[in-house]
């Protein structure tokens, strides 16, 4: 039985871009530092051209015949490429798909609750996958599930649109709703899809103290169960 490897001893991935002496082809198509094409020259001549200008020879199109190489400052070039990749990731919008499950014979109050969840998700700019689950002989009437899905789509048409129409897959029928794009200058409600935040701890403590003070005040009032009986009642009892 082979012994499992506890540690990954593979060497770390290194930059696959070929530069300077790592370029092995005899000829390259050379582009100068100013972006102008010089032409097809030998690799040694291209290296000499780059060294005279204190720059690097970088292979930018390895699949071309001959490969295309450019003369530039590789450290600066690599830094700029990393910054562009970071900026692209920063502007990417993550898409969240929520899922709501229904039954064909759902009660009215349960439908209203599910509808509220769907509206909240769409307000938060999330997509919603609505699934109708069939059981037993309910699969013989898939049109009921489709009618329920289309009814739900009509009830949220002010917030969402159908991106994938009802599709029957085995015992489930699914439909995908997407949020309506906000109008120019209108900010989407990002907090709509998240649960409400709790009040700060100091505020909760203050509210608890106020309730305790109110309870103590009510207990000390004359005639209350926790207070003393009125003086007239004590004299009458004596």
Domain count, the chain: 2
Q: Is residue 7 part of a domain?
A: no
Residue 48 lies in domain = 20-76
CATH code at position 47: 3.10.20.80
> 174 and 122, same structural domain?
yes
DSSP β-bridge partners for residue 100:
130
Q: What size, in residues, is the chain?
A: 238
**Cis status, amide bond into 66, omega within 30 of 0:** yes
DSSP β-bridge partners for residue 172:
133, 169
Cα separation, 72 vs 36, in Å, equals 12
> 106 and 168, same structural domain?
yes
Q: Which residue has the tokens 């309870």?
A: 215
Summarised one tens digit per residue, pLDDT across range 58-93 is: 998 988 889 999 999 988 888 888 898 888 887 777
Summarised one tens digit per residue, pLDDT across range 165-175 is: 999 988 999 99
> 102 and 171, same structural domain?
yes
pLDDT < 70: residue spans in the chain: 1-15, 183-202, 217-238
- Describe the strand order of the beta sheet including 172-179 as a list of residue ranges: 97-102, 127-133, 172-179, 160-169
DSSP β-bridge partners for residue 160:
179
Segments of 47-171 assigned E as strands: 56-61, 68-72, 97-102, 127-133, 160-169
The predicted structure's pLDDT at residue 115: 94
Q: Is residue 64 part of a domain?
A: yes
Angle between the N-to-C axes of helices 108-123 and 142-155, in degrees from 0 to 180, rounded to the nearest 10: 50
Q: Is residue 111 part of a domain?
A: yes
The predicted structure's pLDDT at residue 238: 46
The predicted structure's pLDDT at residue 233: 46
Query: Left (φ > 0), alpha (ψ -120 to 50) or beta: where does 169 sit?
Result: beta
With vertex at residue 200, the alpha carbon angle to CA 197 and CA 201, rounded to the nearest 5 degrees, is: 125
Please state, in angstroms and as integers, the Cα–Cα distance from residue 148 to each residue in 39, 88, 126, 160, following that order: 67, 40, 21, 16
Q: Is residue 67 part of a domain?
A: yes
> 70 and 102, same structural domain?
no
Take residue 150 and report the two structure tokens written for it: 């289309």
Residue 60, C-beta contacts closer than 8 angstroms, at least 6 positions apart: 31, 68, 69, 70
Burial class (CB in 10 A: 0-12, 13-18, 19+), 60: middle
Are the C-beta atoms of residues 107 and 179 closer than 8 Å to each other?
Answer: no
């Amino acid at each position: 039985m082979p012994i499992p490897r506890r540690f990954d001893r593979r060497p770390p991935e290194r930059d696959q871009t070929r530069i300077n002496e790592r370029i092995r082809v005899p000829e390259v198509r050379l582009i100068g530092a100013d972006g102008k094409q010089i032409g097809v020259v030998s690799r040694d001549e291209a290296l000499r051209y780059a060294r005279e200008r204190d720059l690097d020879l970088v292979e930018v199109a390895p699949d071309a015949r001959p490969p295309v190489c450019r003369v530039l400052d590789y450290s600066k070039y690599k830094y700029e490429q990393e910054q562009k990749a970071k900026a692209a990731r920063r502007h990417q919008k993550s898409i969240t798909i929520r899922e709501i499950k229904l039954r064909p014979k759902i009660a009215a109050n349960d439908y209203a609750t599910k509808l509220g969840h769907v509206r909240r998700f769409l307000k938060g700019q999330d997509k919603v996958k609505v699934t109708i689950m069939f059981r037993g002989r309910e699969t013989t009437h898939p049109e009921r599930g489709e009618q329920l899905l289309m009814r739900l789509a009509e009830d949220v048409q002010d917030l969402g649109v159908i991106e994938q129409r009802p599709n029957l897959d085995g015992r489930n029928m699914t439909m995908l709703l997407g949020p309506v794009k906000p109008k120019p200058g209108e900010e989407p409600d990002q907090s709509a899809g998240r649960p409400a935040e709790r009040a700060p701890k100091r505020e909760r403590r203050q509210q608890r103290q106020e309730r305790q003070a109110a309870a103590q005040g009510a207990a000390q009032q004359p005639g209350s169960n926790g207070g003393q009986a009125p003086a007239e009642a004590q004299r009458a009892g004596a």
